Amino acid sequence: MANLSWRSSVKIAAREMHSSRGKFFFVILSVAIGVAALTGVRGFSASFRATLLNRARSIMAADLSARMFQQPTPAQQKGLDEIAASGVEMTPVTELLSMASSAKTLDPLLISLKAVDPAMYPFYGEVELAPAGRLKDVLGPDTVVVADDLLIRLHLKLGDELKIGTRVFRIASVVVNEPDRLSGSFAAGPRILISREGLDASGLLAPGSHAGQRYLFKVQQPARGVAISDKAVAQLKERLEKLLPEAQIIDYRETNPALAQGLDRATSLLSLMSLVALVLGAIGVAMAMRAHLQQRLDTIAIMKSLGARSGQIMKIYLLQTLLLGLLGGIVGVAFGVGVQRALPYFLAKLIHVQTDLRVEPAAIFTGLAVGVLTTLLFTLPPLLDIRGVRPILILRRSVEENDDPFVTAIWRKATKNFAQVGAAVLIVGGLAAIATTLSDSVTVGKVFSLGLVGVLAILLAASAVVLWGLRYFLSKTRLHLPSTVRHGLANLYRPGNPSAALLAALGMGVMQIMTVYLVQQAVVSELHLSSAPNLPNVFLVDITSDEIAGVRALLKAQPSVTSTAEMLPVVSSRIVAIDGVEADALKLKNFPKRMLRSISLTWSETLPPGTKTVEGKWWPEKERGAFVAVGQRQAGRLGVKVGSKITFAAQDTQIVATVVALTKADGQHAYSRAEFVLPPAPLAGLPVVWYGGVHADPARVGELQRALYQAYPTVTVINVAEALETIRSVVIQITYVIQFLAAFSIFAGIIILASSIAGTRYRRIREVVVLKTLGATRARIATVFSIEFAVLGLVAGTVGVAFANVVARTLLKRLSVSYHFRWEWTVLALLGTVMLTVATGWMASHRILGQKPLEVLREE
Amino acid sequence: MISVEGLRKSIRNGSRTVDILKGIDFTVPQGQFAAIMGASGSGKSTLLGLLAGLDTPSAGEVRLNGTAISYLPEDKLAQVRGKTIGFVFQSYQLIPTLTALENVLLPHELNADAKVSGLARARELLTSVGLGDRMEHYPVQLSGGEQQRVALARAFILRPPIVLADEPTGNLDTTNGTHVLELLLNLNKTEGTTLVLVTHDPMLAGYADRRIVLSDGRIVSDELNSAAHPRQASVVAQ
């Protein structure tokens, strides 16, 4: 069978594209936007991951790290000493929250303290100081190095004194960066590096203190100039895992598992957001291709009359689509480099690693492949319509579909719809496959693709309904409206205007950005708690048993305190077994096994305030038996019920406690955080640290902090408002990135709008010419078009904002955050969308106004 | 040979049905030149479209060289069209993005064996219609008459047994129209095709072997033309 050669097909496709290059410029841009976002995200992620790997040892500051949740037992300490004696270098790093103050300010400041041995730490990488210097030269028993923001907040400078715990230290230098910042604990306050002797002298560490302990290890170098082998690292890791079974041991190649997992999840989420922009771009391509094919009906009909089969003609336009997808992809990859460079800027406060940005071939390939594939998928429906073009068009313009004989008509309809249904299935399937690849999860892929298609369908339906309503309104009020308004509204229904699809695409972008904003604002507002009079707004951490009575008395005497302090004793322990099953062998639901190593036990004679029993029965007062009441949610995760036996280990003591009750707390008391409550007797003699919460007059929290700090400098006082401020800034930082990517969807919608307006250019020119001939001024014509663009923007904005509120409300309900409709944001979003659409509309059609009537009329 | 049996064609125009052809029967033997005439709206172009397989009749059948084509699937029909029929449209209908030579070659690329090059034949045809020096020009660079000559050459590239022409001189001025007609008739004579030409011009119909007159969707007259003008290069003299 004869076939149109690829060469001929490419020739026809390329020449048509060249003659329509103005129109196809927007199409290429549509694809480029989404590809840029995707390539940028994945390129940055790959670069960041490569940086983590390249600097893995520096990021850990060691070959291995062992995170301990308890102090080592004597036996374990002996084992560690033996390891040290074998040539392995070892140094402890302790991180804790505490308070610091200076003579220049009254208020103490919450700080993130990190105690190191400057002679050993770090094993890899450098602590960057200002002025430049070596840590071991400046950090001694009486000195500290501090972060710049501490100096600012406490109005200090180098050389000034700083009180931490019970000791006063001199500020020797400013710490700009530590190599293992990412591997450490979350810094809730300005960073201070202190020596181990300094920490011991400060009195901050007491048995049971809430301090994070890491041991860093450096394997002995085989010989000078010879690299440490991974085998040696693995051997040491094995040895440590046997010695410290409850510790979290990782080597430098794993970097930070939480960080790696976080990076994977973030990459997946941001990739999917980029995919939304890509899909919108592909829809734009499909709309442009449909319009293009409409204009090519004559050519298609001619070719069919000359003997071309539908498949041969489809080959030409498939090639065009492929070329457009490729060109868009290439342009997008180039833009993607810019996106890759922009992302670190948004994440600067979260990532303390200078990322070596470079071109990542895998990211480029993914961006290109996904761009081309998505474009091809979404262009299938208009391409399939080529099959329905009838050659009789050449002789008779108005060809009715139902002038066929009955059987032919049915067959034509069935094959057309069957093919289109098949195309739809292919599109959804293809989208699911792409989403699965990007997110590395079949479930996410399925949910995303169905969800996206569903949302687009709903937006399309909503847009169509609104347009229909507007048309109905127009039909009823036609003669009462000013003619410019009437004309502008009527233009929405101009033949060739794919208004509903356009509105859906634009609405999608508005919806995305508005949803992110609404959720962010609600979450951040919720963090801005103005607590009820009885809710604690000041928390006290690490109160020792010696201090508890004094602290209670002090709080009682403070005029700023408006409620009775609730104090909670905490014993650090770990779960060794449940119902005889060892911890390692337990099958847990939504409960990481490593958390079994960090369990807080508390005691109470009676049912604590704000707590109720949901199953079982509380023990009588003075009970001495080994019983435990477990929080209902925790019990579900651990798979325990009334009657189960949990074996706890605290220091060298093991407690086998029987579950006698499951409880539920109201979340408003200090005991609300207690998941495991025992009678006092089983925990007697174990190291205990007290936590407390108290409500102080918000305006006088500083007064309370000063009084506590003066009397008990080792007690950490957390002003909830300040802590929430830190969390809020992190949340805002994260949402900046999400909104940055959501903006790409808006760009895609804008490009589609511009493309659609450019596509109806000739019709508009003819309109302008006729109007001018009839006496219309340029100002009047401009008003008519502006009304058309503004109404488009208003409708898209309304649909987008309405659904944004619906989605935000649903999401916030799941997060247990309250939702409030905000008129001011709605109005702003609508105004913004209108301005954007009017600006875009005019950018795409500004030369129309200058068209001379006779030039156009002569061409007729 | 073209054979038409009981051909009917109706279309829906809004809510009403319009009968364009109300039962057409005729046969055009091989090699005959038949002119279909009639006033505007008589159904001439619709009949030509059905003969070419560009449309499906409401009833009846069209046979080309014995093959019934009216209800063939579209792809099969395209093959038949490509190999059996050469078509000359009133509005030339050239592909705007292809040169004159490429337009003439297109039917060959679509329908012929890819191993056989049609280039020589295309060049020969274009030369024979007087466009030997305009082969690389695009339609927009050619006059109406020149475009129609390209369309003529395209119609004959595959040596089709049947050529259908719909008002081939309708959009041309007298001089160009005469020239194009002359070329069409010459090509028809040298290639030995069956030619069916739709026209409302009696002068043009005077060259046909047979005149079929349509009126209101029916044949009202079907006569051999004993006084047909010879199909030679003497059109201008007439």
Q: Which two tokens stand for residue B209?
A: 């072997």
Share of chain A above pLDDT 90, in %: 21
Gyration radius (Cα) of chain B, Å: 17
Contact A310 B75 (CB under 8 A): yes
Q: Do A5 and B89 touch (CB under 8 A)?
A: no
For chain B of 238 residues, list the mean pLDDT of each consecutive stretch of 10.
92 80 92 90 88 88 89 82 87 86 88 76 92 91 92 90 90 85 85 89 88 92 75 40
Q: Does B97 touch chain A (CB under 8 A)?
A: yes
* Crossing angle for the helix pair B119-128 and B144-156, to the nearest 10 degrees: 140
What pLDDT is stored for residue A115 in this prediction? 94
**A390 to B87: CB separation less than 8 angstroms, yes or no:** no
Question: What is the band of A353 on the pLDDT scale with cuts at 50, 70, 90?
Answer: low
Largest CA distance in chain B: 52
Between strands A716-719 and A676-678, the pairing is: unpaired
Sign, CA torsion A24/A26/A28/A31: negative
Å between A470 CA and nearest CA of chain B:
26
Please tell me which residue, A27 or A805, carries the higher pLDDT value: A805
A295 interface with B at CB cutoff 8 Å: no
More confident residue, A673 or B67: B67
> B49 vs A5: CB contact, 8 Å cut-off?
no
- CB-facing half-sphere around the CA of A786: CA atoms within 13 A: 10
ipTM over 0.85? The verdict is no
Assess whether pLDDT exceeds 90 at residue A587.
no
Which residues does chain B have within 8 Å of residue A387's beta carbon, measured at their own beta carbons? 74
**Cα–Cα distances in angstroms (integers) from residue A483 to residues A487, A593, A787, in the given order:** 6, 72, 11
Q: Do B112 and A396 touch (CB under 8 A)?
A: no
pLDDT, average across residues A577-605:
82
Mean pLDDT, chain A, integer: 83
B70 touches chain A (CB under 8 A): no
Give the minimum alpha-carbon distance from A761 to chain B in angstroms, rounded to a whole number. 20
Asked whether residue A408 carries a pLDDT value surpassing 70, the answer given is no
Identify from A19, A306, A410 which residue to disrupt to test chain B contact, counting B C-beta atoms within 10 A and taking the largest count. Answer: A306
pTM: 0.74
Mean pLDDT of all residues in A766-794: 81
- Mean pLDDT lowest among A16-25, A468-477, A812-821, A843-852: A843-852
- Closest residue of B to A406, CA-based? B58
- Please compute the mean of the pLDDT values over residues A332-346 and round it to a whole number: 86
Amino acid A183: pLDDT: 63
pLDDT at B235: 40
**Which of B11, B79, B114 is the closest to A307 by Cβ?**
B79
- Name which of A670-674, A681-685, B211-215 the model is least confident about: A670-674
Q: Which chain A residues have a beta carbon less than 8 Å from that of B89?
A: 394-395
Distance from CA of A784 to the nearest CA of B (A): 32
| Mean pLDDT across A508-529 | 80
Nearest to A3 among B49, B102, B114 (CB): B114
Contacts of B153 in chain A (CB under 8 A): none
Taking alpha carbons only, the member of A656, A636, A661, A654 closest to residue A646 is A656
Using the predicted structure, report yes or no on whether residue A240 has a pLDDT greater than 80. yes
* Cβ–Cβ contact A148 with B under 8 A: no
Which secondary-structure segment (H or E) carries A516? helix A499-527
H-helix or E-strand containing B152? helix B144-156
Structure token pair of residue A140: 């001694």
The answer to whether A199 touches A115, Cβ cutoff 8 Å, is: yes
Mark which residues 135-194 of B lie under 8 Å from A by CB. Answer: 154, 166
Q: What does the CA dihedral A80, A85, A86, A87 come to, rounded to 10 degrees?
A: 110
Does the pLDDT of residue A853 top 70, yes or no? no
pLDDT at B234: 39
CA distance B159 to chain A (A): 13
Average pLDDT for residues A271-277, to the nearest whole number? 86
Tell me how far apart the alpha carbons of residues A588 and B227 are, in angstroms, rounded to a whole number: 103
Distance (Å) from the C-alpha of residue A391 to the closest C-alpha of chain B?
5
| pLDDT at position A743 | 84
Q: Find residues 608-667 of chain A whose CB sits inside 8 Å of chain B.
A: none
What confidence score (pLDDT) does residue A614 get? 92
pLDDT of residue A55: 74
Find the range with the poorest average confidence among A140-149, A178-187, A354-363, A626-635. A178-187
Q: Which amino acid appears at position B19 of this protein?
A: D
Cβ <8 Å between B110 and A2: yes
Give the pLDDT confidence score for residue B196 in this predicted structure: 94
Of B57, B81, B94, the CB nearest to A305: B81
Check residue B237 and give its pLDDT: 35
Residue that wins the pLDDT comparison between A656 and A60: A656
pLDDT over threshold 80, residue A316: yes
